Every structure is written in C-alpha cells, then in structure tokens.
Amino acid sequence: MTKQIPEGVSQVKLWDVGTRLFHWSLVICVCSAWFLGKFGPNIMTLHFYFGYAVIALLVFRIVWGLFGPAPARFSHFLFGPAATLRYAKTLKNPTPSYWPGHNPIGALSVFAMLAALIVQVSTGLFADPDDYINVGPLADMVSSEANRSATKLHHQMALLIAVFVVLHVAAIAFYKRYKGENLVTPMLTGWKLVRKDKG
C-alpha cells in the first residue's frame, strides 16, 4: 500500500544521478581509505589509490556545486546564521522538515566534511612517514619539516573525519527515529518529500 503524502507536501525529483553517484562513491572511497590507513598492509598502495579517487570526487563536487543542478549547487544551501538558528530551534519538534535539499544544519556538515577531506587529501600528497615506502607523490617538493607537519596533520584529520562520519550517521538515525523523515532513500532514488511552500 502506497503511503499517503501529507497535505502541503509533494514528492519531487530532488537529487540528480551525479550527486547520488558522488555521495555513495565518496562513502566507499573514504571508508576504504580510512580502514586501509588504520588497519591495512604496511605498503599502502591501495590507500593511495582510494585517496586519488577521493581527490577526483572532490574536484567533481566542486564543479557540480558551481555549475550542476540547482539543489546540488552550493548557493542552494548556503545559509546565514539567522536561518541556521531558526532551523536549529525546530529540531526539537518530532515532525519531518520536508526541506528541499540540504537543510541549514546539514549544509554545515557538508561544507565541514568537504573542507576536512580537502585538507586530508592535500596533506596526504605531501606526507612522508620516514619509512621510505609510503611517501606522498609531492613530498619531495617541500622541506622535511613540511613533510612531518603534513604527516602529523594527515593522521589528526583522519580522526576528525571519523567523528564527522559518526555524527552524519547519528543525524540520519535521529531524523528517521525522532522526526520520522527518511534521508537515505532520497539519496538512493533521487525522490524526496518536500514542503510546497519551500519548493
């Protein structure tokens, strides 16, 4: 039986295939790179390959955020402090927001994750752990002190990214269990329930 759509809400094709492929590809590549970095073999060739894939995905997302479909553009989910605070006050309400895209809190998480990943892959390129094996491809372009700083920051950012991932999953669970809003299915199918007055 088809679930009835609430009054004032419509089902729209929100997420394009490019955005969805980016999202799930990033999930696979970031998680794979993280686990290989923490628990993988000493020779981290696969870790590097997944890192290069993350770089390609980030370049795509930046281009898509500037020139892609409206819901995927950064300008579509760039909110000021007032709008973000207003939305934050609604989180206590156990009802779906039906937001047409990334809500203000979700937008902050997107920008934070993209920034963290840019720092992560950048430091990985210049990292040199002094094992003469797992050296970043651009490590010889900077000083040994810069190599050490990049390596240290690369390890620190891995922890921060893990925290972001846990918070992201927790937010999805919060919206599903408390607010009754499924955020996973729209990122699979592209279709999302959206308030008509925000469409």
CA gap 196, 199 in Å, rounded: 5
Pairing of strands 191-195, 9-13: antiparallel
pTM (global) more than 0.75: yes
> What range defines the domain where residue 67 resides?
9-198
pLDDT at 1: 43
- pLDDT digit string (tens) for 80-110? 999 999 999 999 999 999 999 999 999 999 9
Of 42-51, 95-104, 128-137, 159-168, where does mean pLDDT reach its minimum? 128-137
Residue 4 inside a domain? The answer is no
CA 187 to mean position of chain CA atoms: 12
Q: What is the mean pLDDT of residues 15-44?
A: 95
CA gap 189, 16 in Å, rounded: 9
Distances (CA, A) of 179 to 91, 96, 199: 8, 5, 20
Residue 40 inside a domain? The answer is yes
Which one-letter DSSP state was computed for residue 14?
A: -
pLDDT at 26: 98
Given pLDDT bands bounded at 50, 70 and 90, which one contains residue 7? Answer: confident
CA gap 199, 174 in Å, rounded: 24
Given pLDDT bands bounded at 50, 70 and 90, which one contains residue 123? Answer: very high
What interhelical angle do 104-126 and 45-67 show, nearest 10?
A: 140
Question: What CATH number did the domain enclosing 21 receive?
Answer: 1.20.950.20
Does residue 27 contact residue 19 with C-beta atoms inside 8 Å? no
Residue 2 inside a domain? The answer is no
pLDDT at 77: 94
Q: What is the mean pLDDT of residues 41-64?
A: 96
Residue 3 inside a domain? The answer is no
Helix (H) or strand (E) holding 1: none
Residue 186 has pLDDT above 80, yes or no: yes
**Which of 42, 19, 38 is CA-nearest to residue 157?**
38
Residue 174 inside a domain? The answer is yes
Given pLDDT bands bounded at 50, 70 and 90, which one contains residue 199? Answer: very low
- pLDDT digit string (tens) for 140-172? 999 999 999 999 999 999 999 999 999 999 999
Residue 1 inside a domain? The answer is no
DSSP per position, 98-160: --SSS-HHHHHHHHHHHHHHHHHHHHHHH---SSSSS--TTGGGS-HHHHHHHHHHHHHHHHH
**Which of 101, 71, 90, 105 is CA-nearest to residue 179?**
90
Does residue 36 contact residue 44 with C-beta atoms inside 8 Å? yes
Residue 192 inside a domain? The answer is yes
- When divided into structural domains, the chain yields a total of 1
